[in-house]
Structure 1
Amino acid sequence: MNAPRSRHPLTADAEKYRAALSQRGFRALWLAALVSRTGDTLNFVALALFTLAITKSAAAVGTVVLAEGVGLILGALVAQLVVDQISPRPLLISVDMARAVTAALLAAAPSYPTALGVAFVLALGTAVFSPSSSTLVPRLVPGELLLAANGLLWTAGVALQLIAAPLAGVLVANGLVRLVFAVNAATFVGSGLLLLRLPALSRVSTLTIGPWHQLPEAFRLMRMVGGLRPLLVMQALAALSVGATSALLVVLAEKAYLLNPAGYGTWLGAIALGALAGPLALPLLGRVAPERVVPAAYAIRGVGDMGLGLLSQAGAGGALLGLYGINTSSGMVSFQTLIQRRIPERIRGRTFALLDLTWQVGRLVSIGLGALLATLVGIRPVFIVGGLLLIAAAAVGAVGLRAEPTAARDPEGS
């Protein structure tokens, strides 16, 4: 009698993606992400083009971006009051419906003031929706499928950007900007309807303290939860790096590499393709503890940013950006999985919100400091300093995280 033929390890790991999607609750969450992120991408491109067209001002576009940034920061604070405190299904659906109404306002009355308000409110909703969604994943799939599930959610966003971004440009160019905004509103309605299929899970926190005490309680997590402090420091250092380098990549392309707009578009395409391919490495990374993968991802990107600041050949820069896309996507998925596994369930959503707050504040500070540094000494030092900050973040992670996480202390008890 012949022994059953064993499957190749990579084949077995790849099947985890199918197994994750076979979970009814996660499938609903994934489809909702697929729908709403399509609208997000359409809106992101159309809003910038629309604002520039009606105001003829780059400063006005920057103000819309600033409104979005402020919304993300305030939303992360609001998330501390509601994430973990409210059952996830009604919270996510309510946020989607509120975003649908807000997005519809821009379709009904497109104007610069409306664009400012909509950008702010949509960002506010995203900052509440995102940590609640992230903390829900471990409740919808078994632990061995967690990495695959996070990879699927990441790919849902990246893959659609390749289609939705140019489509939005075409629609706006043909005078159909209201249609784009209306489609964005419809995607939130579609997402909310899909989320009705989520299981009726209870809230995870039993805190009874008032709102004014909940924010200080969130920051107390740094002292109470094992491994959170190095994660916060890593997040802060990465935000101080990436905010500037992402915003000023177009300046590097033009000033240091002498690229025209088409060449810069090729660079962006290299990032997108790398980000799309990154999750393909997850079956291999699943064999390595995320406590090791995450610092390595920071270090690789840091070296890549320093390379961008030192090199001068456009092809070499594009290759580094392709690697950056692969590294960022696989690293982000591992980072997400690390938090979901290390942080106690009762405070996981607030932890995600705290990390989001750290990221958004650091990103805005980084953009300002990066612009100042570029003005004073040129664009190349911005990328070299950014690379050094990421390497520092990797060092913090390598020292502060353990390959086998210790049991985290739950400040609310278990």
Structure 2
Amino acid sequence: MQNSKYRIRLLIVLALCFSLTRVWSAAELPAQLTDEVFWQLVTEFSEPSGRFPSDNFVSNELATQRVLSELTKARKAGGAYVGVGPEQNFTYIVALQPKIAFIVDIRRQNMIQHLMYKALIELSSDRADFLSRLFSRPRPSNVDKNSGIGALFDALSPIQADQQMFDENLRAIKDRLIKEHGFKLTSEDETTLGYIFRAFYVGGPDLGYSNVAFQPRSAGPRLLPTYEELMIDTDENGQQRSFIATEENFLTLQQFEKDNLIVPVVGNFAGSTALRSVGSYLREHNTLISAFYTSNVEQYLFMTSEDWKNFYTNVSTLPLDSNSTFIRPLINTGNGYTASPQFRPTFHWDTVLFPIADLVAAFNAGMIENYYDVIQTRN
């Protein structure tokens, strides 16, 4: 009789432990997302696409890496990354090693571009293969996995783009996304995908920020950096740390993509859905924001009386702690930082880190009235 009671108690304890384990597991972020869950997050978190005057094929900020040593110093991997824009996010993701990343951009074209990258990165065997596919140029024969990033571009740049490769690569991208992953792209999405991929085909390593950069470098001087210049740039200590600077970096990024852990979302920073949905998801999974790369979006938000307030209200709903950090590129005129997004030849970018919690505290205290108040919130 006692043995029977003991067995019953043991079974109850084991059942409770199993139940608690299941509850705890449900609260933790998964190591990878299924295709169905990934696409559900993309679609349910997204807002209607907004407008922006440029294509943003590549970043226009030649200072992305200049803060990586400071950003990663004494910072453990984990948490969540939130960003905006195209490929610069990959460099931050590789450096920070978050558990999940959300790219929130007002343009649906940016979401489609990230899906293009996802397919290409998953399909590629190494960096040289990736660049060959991205620019639709035959892979150079004189490079290998140990080649430096500068050597990769030196070998690739003289090679002419190939129309047949472009057609085959575009078909492979669509097949990967639609047939293998099962993502439900619209016909308009497919047209946008072709438009983006053709920009890389035409521009090659000289491709820049907007469609005016379809013109090769030989057409004249540029105000903004090329894809190649961004990839071979260095951090504040002179070390090349872009997502394709080393084979290790690329393979790290590739695993993120294969695990469906880089989720592109269409959303306005000041909108009512995207950022709040990301925040709710992270709270449900006990995950704090590690870093939030804003680009210079805030300069545009301060052009209206309400957008910046809505953005900081959204930020205040995110799961934060004292280590949560804004990665904020600032335009330096030589006489200080400007609130205008207009970039001139004599200006340069500075990438600066700001504690998110300090901004939220200042905003809630009514201490933020303009862009200059924002950039005063750094410790």
Where on the TM-score scale, by shorter chain, does this alignment land: which range? under 0.3
In proportion to residue count, which structure has more helix?
A: 1
Instruction: Return the TM-score normalized by structure 2.
Output: 0.26
Instruction: Return the TM-score normalized by structure 1.
Output: 0.25
In proportion to residue count, which structure has more strand?
A: 2
Larger Rg: 2
